[in-house]
């Protein structure tokens, strides 16, 4: 009987040669333990942060940021195990920044300090320490793979009071301009003095609660996520994010104009109607139509995605 000698077949490790996938898994496991210990160290501020967000009318969206960041990192999971490297000296920068923020927080809490400002400094320090751990345990290679989700975590920190007030004042004045345009198009007679609109039978002021700061911030975050997930080129991503700011201003001006029109055409009591107090989500959904349409145009402008070269 004849025998046939079969040459041994070489199989390649799908996670990379030399056990790179195993090393990557272990690196991410160590990073997970580090995240758990960091969360335990910041347990008190995190509990205050969650309670603050659930009661806040402006910053309730921050509770979604860790979930969104985790999901975006999960989408990158096929490459995560192979994209780890040695500890990076870049860890020094966020580490020093985190210590500086904790020092600033201690200085703030020594005097009069709002809960919002306290959480702004503390949560941002937490994120800095998280970046530090990422550079130490995952290296520069690993941090590049999850760059956007890690940067997005900075949005967990509420905006400080002084900045919030400045943004609200800007949005009040900026939203008054498109509101005047829409009222002029509707052919309603009115007089305007800054953020005050004198209409037949009623006077309407674009107050702080009408500035639309929460909807504008959420629209900005939506544009960031849409750009990251659906667009490839940096110029297209930057354009979409910038476009979301005037879009939010026009949206809020349109809302003011609609409420004003209802007060004049139907009854001044419409100022107390649900469309005024609970109508924000409706106008937010309307603003998504031009946002996604511009995204569609940008995708067409980018052209088809390049095909991978055959090996």
Does residue 239 sit within a domain?
yes
- Tokens 């007679």 belong to 189
Cα separation of 276 and 210, whole Å? 9
Give the number of domains in the chain: 2
Does residue 144 sit within a domain?
yes
Among the ranges given (13-17, 82-86, 164-168, 171-175), the one the predictor scored with the smallest mean pLDDT: 13-17
Can you give 103-121 as a three-state secondary structure string? HHHHHHHCCCCCHHHHHHH
Does residue 13 sit within a domain?
no
The DSSP 8-state label assigned to residue 8 in this structure reads P
| Residue 111 confidence (pLDDT) above 80 | no
Same domain, 117 and 190: no
pLDDT in tens, 114-140: 888 889 999 999 999 999 999 999 999
| Residue 202 confidence (pLDDT) above 70 | yes
Does residue 112 sit within a domain?
yes
pLDDT in the model for residue 4? 45
Among the ranges given (120-129, 235-244, 285-294, 297-306), the one the predictor scored with the smallest mean pLDDT: 297-306
| Residue 102 confidence (pLDDT) above 90 | no
Does residue 307 sit within a domain?
no
pLDDT in tens, 205-253: 887 777 788 889 999 999 999 999 999 999 999 999 999 999 999 999 9
Q: Report the SS3 class of residue 203.
A: strand
Same domain, 92 and 54: yes
- Which of 97, 121, 156 terminates a domain? The answer is 156
Same domain, 190 and 280: yes
Q: Report the SS3 class of residue 205.
A: strand
Mean pLDDT of the chain: 86
| Percent of the chain with pLDDT strictly greater than 70 | 88
> Could you tell me the two tokens for 87?
């500890």
Same domain, 148 and 172: no
Mean pLDDT within 145-160 = 93
The DSSP 8-state label assigned to residue 6 in this structure reads P
- Which of 92, 121, 156 terminates a domain? The answer is 156
Q: How many CB atoms lie within 10 A of CB 93?
A: 14
| Residue 110 confidence (pLDDT) above 90 | no
Does residue 212 sit within a domain?
yes
Among the ranges given (111-115, 121-125, 148-152, 286-290), the one the predictor scored with the smallest mean pLDDT: 111-115
pLDDT in the model for residue 11? 39
Among the ranges given (15-19, 142-146, 233-237, 289-293), the one the predictor scored with the smallest mean pLDDT: 15-19
pLDDT in the model for residue 21? 66
Domain carrying residue 179: 163-301
Cα separation of 124 and 130, whole Å? 10
- Which of 125, 141, 156 terminates a domain? The answer is 156
> Could you tell me the two tokens for 127?
């994120």
pLDDT in the model for residue 309? 57
């Amino acid at each position: 009987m004849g025998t046939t000698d079969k040459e041994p077949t070489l199989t390649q490790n799908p996670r990379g040669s030399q056990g790179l996938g195993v090393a990557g898994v272990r690196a991410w496991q160590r990073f997970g333990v580090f995240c758990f210990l960091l969360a335990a160290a910041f347990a008190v501020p995190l509990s205050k942060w969650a309670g603050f967000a659930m009661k806040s009318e402006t910053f309730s969206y921050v509770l979604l940021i860790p979930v969104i960041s985790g999901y975006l990192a999960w989408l990158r999971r096929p490459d995560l195990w192979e994209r780890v490297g040695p500890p990076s000296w870049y860890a020094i920068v966020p580490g020093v920044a985190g210590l500086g923020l904790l020092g600033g927080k201690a200085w703030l809490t020594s005097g009069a300090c709002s809960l919002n400002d306290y959480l702004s400094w503390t949560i941002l320090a937490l994120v800095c320490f998280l970046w530090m751990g990422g550079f130490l345990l995952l290296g520069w290679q690993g941090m590049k793979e999850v760059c956007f989700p890690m940067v997005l975590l900075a949005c967990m920190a509420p905006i400080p009071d002084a900045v919030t007030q400045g943004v609200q004042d800007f949005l009040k004045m900026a939203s008054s301009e498109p509101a005047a345009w829409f009222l002029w198009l509707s052919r309603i007679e009115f007089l305007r003095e800054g953020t005050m609109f004198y209409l037949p039978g009623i006077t309407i002021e674009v107050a702080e609660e009408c500035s639309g700061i929460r909807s504008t911030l959420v629209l900005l975050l939506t544009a960031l996520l849409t750009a990251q997930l659906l667009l490839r080129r940096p110029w297209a991503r930057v354009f979409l994010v910038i476009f979301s700011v005037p879009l939010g201003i026009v949206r809020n001006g349109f809302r003011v104009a609609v409420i004003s029109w209802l007060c004049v055409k139907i009854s001044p009591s419409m100022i107390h109607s649900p469309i005024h107090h609970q109508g924000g989500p409706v106008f937010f959904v309307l603003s998504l139509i031009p946002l996604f349409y511009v995204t569609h145009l940008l995708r067409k402008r980018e052209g088809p995605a390049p095909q991978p070269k055959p090996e």
